[in-house]
Structure 1
Amino acid sequence: MEGLIDNIAETKSVLSIQSHVVHGYVGNKASSFPLQMLNWEVDLLNTVNLSNHTGYGSFKGSASTKSDLLTIFEGLKKINVEYDALLTGYSSGYDTLEAVGDICIGIKNNEKSEKNVTWLLDTVMGDEGVLYVDENVIPVYKKLLESQLVDIITPNQFELEILLDHKITCLETLKKEMKLFHEKYKVKHVILSTLYADGFQELEGGPETLYCCVSSISVPDKLILYKIDKIDGYFTGVGDMFSALLLDRITKLNDIIPATNQALSVMKKVLTVTKHFSGKSGSINDANMKDCELRVIECKNIYNDNEELYQPIFIPK
């Protein structure tokens, strides 16, 4: 038993407000176990409670109401729970998202707490031109950003275009929109999780190539791009796990460039393992989708990897 305590590190705490499924891995189910393996104490507040991901074509369950979330959070306040970080993702409607905002803004503005709370907001609204939430959540997301209390945001290209009401068609418009985002919302780090290469003449690659783009106040004169080859298949929960890994790395490294690289590199390994074990390419409403759930447990020894598999591409602003 000698030296036992010396080898145990103190945990950090995070309140994760996302979706919940009984079967499979999206939302809180995709985020909580990796964060726990990375030495985080994870408190889960579920915006929906479903049997499984909606992409199966069949599911049962219900959405949490604004009152549900605020009542549960009131219970947390009564026992004086404090957090080092906030991780917020999918909310199905505007009232639920308003509750998420009330909770997070309240935590960030808590003058009694000595903690410097980091808020990562994943604006889960849609992808590739398709919304999968009610349109009335869009002004609520803008309102949350206008609080100027969000530290990190992880939209995909479509979601960033929605938030700024502008299309991103080339690197010049991308630079302009990123600059506008920082100026308007005071967000420290904007990580554009998915940028489609075939929509940009200046970017190498075609339909099977994606880019992750980082814009940060800590690197004021450059955008950082990471070129990513798509892994064939339909995977759910990828963005949820990526945001969790990114929150962990930014908190620990305090450097957005290696933090993003490591999070992307872990995700590549997780998807490679998932693809290997599934052996199939699932799609929305496909019978094979069950086989394509992220292999969250099998990858338990991967989450702490610090390998950086991607070469940063620096683009002058």
Structure 2
Amino acid sequence: MQGILSIQSHVSYGHAGNSSAVFPMQRMGFEVWPIHTVQFSNHTHYMEGWTGRAFSADEIKDVVQGLDNLNIWQQCQAIVTGYQGTPEQCSVIADTVRHVKQHNPNVVYICDPVMNNPGKGCLVAPGITQQIVNTLIPVADVIVPNQFELETIAQMPINSLDDAIEASRRALAKGPNIVVAKHLYGIGNEQFNLLLATPDAIYLASRPLYKMNKEPVGVGDLITATFTAGLLKGWSPLQAYQHCHNAVHGILKQTADSGEWELQTITAQDEFVTPSHHFPARQVASNKSCV
């Protein structure tokens, strides 16, 4: 049984981390083997608070060892990682990626580099950002940062499309083959801007932003998962990116139309198979002489 190893946070109620990422990959036809870095009752943006706990690096390592005992790594198609609770968890991730790739060089590692961003309400433990930049990104095949994370990786601000292009090139130079940068408000905040950078070219696609009472959580996890599934279907990076952009728009539109805050991933699940809207990407730069 082939599958995707997904190591992320998990919430019981709503959609964030694995509870945002696992179902889209399954709906697009893939088995998923989730490992939770934390298990909370709900995501941390609720005023009522949340309950649950983070798992230790040793506990995650123990689950990975159990999978290793099954001798299944030849069946692993991809490793997806998102929110990590401690710097030690990042070390376990890096060790796991290297170990799995020793058994299966074809496995693809997709890293959503979730970093400390108090302005957005995203808080991670001290030391995690450094571990992501220095340990995870160099071994990643694909990274899916938001603007703040891309700025941190590239060590530059993004206030224009040219800035975003340069930042994505700097990120590619750190090791990944593909960068998918989400919510690039620095190049215009009237729309949701999603950028794809490969060693050959850079593309930009934009979709409408919908007004909601509260900003939905888990959209980044949804983007990462949907793009991963597209790649594993054998689509080109551009095809996977286009499909991801269109499908996630459908989920957000359904969420806005329903008046809900939590992503309507289940209600709008057909979007993962046949998106109802199409927003064409345009090439904004060539990379053939840059990487």
Give me the TM-score of the superposition, normalised by structure 1: 0.82
User: C-alpha separation between the residues in 2 aligned to 1:29 and 1:184?
Assistant: 30
CA shift digits 1:18-51 (9 cap, x unpaired): 0011111111111111211222111110000111
Give the Å deviation of 1:145.
4.0
Of 183, 191, 200, which aligns to 1:209?
Answer: 191
Tell whether the 8 Å contact from 1:129 to 1:158 is kept in structure 2 after alignment. no
Of 76, 80, 102, which aligns to 2:67?
Answer: 76
Specify the structure having the higher radius of gyration (Cα): 1
Tell whether the 8 Å contact from 1:20 to 1:26 is kept in structure 2 after alignment. yes
User: C-alpha separation between the residues in 2 aligned to 1:135 and 1:165?
Assistant: 18
CA shift digits 1:89-146 (9 cap, x unpaired): 0112211222222212221233xx4x61011100112559555213411121122346
Give the Å deviation of 1:275.
1.8
Aligned equivalent of 2:40: 50
Identify unmatched segments of 5+ residues in structure 2. Answer: 287-291
Aligned pairs for 1:181-200 (under 5 A) are 181-185=171-175, 187-196=176-185, 199-200=186-187
User: C-alpha separation between the residues in 2 aligned to 1:138 and 1:129?
Assistant: 15
Aligned equivalent of 1:235: 216
User: C-alpha separation between the residues in 1 aligned to 2:271 and 2:15?
Assistant: 17
Is residue 2:87 matched to residue 1:98?
A: no
- Over the aligned positions, Cα root-mean-square deviation in angstroms equals 2.0
1:98 corresponds to which letter in structure 2? S
Tell whether the 8 Å contact from 1:138 to 1:163 is kept in structure 2 after alignment. no
User: C-alpha separation between the residues in 1 aligned to 2:108 and 2:124?
Assistant: 25
Give the Å deviation of 1:307.
6.1
Aligned equivalent of 2:289: none
What count of residue pairs does the alignment treat as equivalent? 280
Aligned equivalent of 1:62: 53
User: C-alpha separation between the residues in 1 aligned to 2:170 and 2:21?
Assistant: 30
Aligned pairs for 1:1-317 (under 5 A) are 12-57=2-47, 58-82=49-73, 83-110=76-103, 113=104, 116-126=106-116, 130=120, 132-145=123-136, 148-185=138-175, 187-196=176-185, 199-200=186-187, 206-217=188-199, 220=200, 222-233=201-212, 234-277=215-258, 279=259, 291-305=260-274, 309-317=278-286
Tell whether the 8 Å contact from 2:150 to 2:168 is kept in structure 1 after alignment. no
Task: Give the 3 Å change call, closer, same or farther, for CA 229–135 of structure 1 in structure 2.
Answer: farther
Identify unmatched segments of 5+ residues in structure 1. Answer: 1-10, 201-205, 280-290
Task: Give the 3 Å change call, closer, same or farther, for CA 47–174 of structure 1 in structure 2.
Answer: same
1:270 corresponds to which letter in structure 2? I
Report % sequence identity.
26
User: C-alpha separation between the residues in 2 aligned to 1:262 and 1:128?
Assistant: 31
Give me the TM-score of the superposition, normalised by structure 2: 0.89
Tell whether the 8 Å contact from 1:86 to 1:117 is kept in structure 2 after alignment. yes
User: C-alpha separation between the residues in 2 aligned to 1:15 and 1:246?
Assistant: 15
Secondary structure of 1:109 counterpart: helix
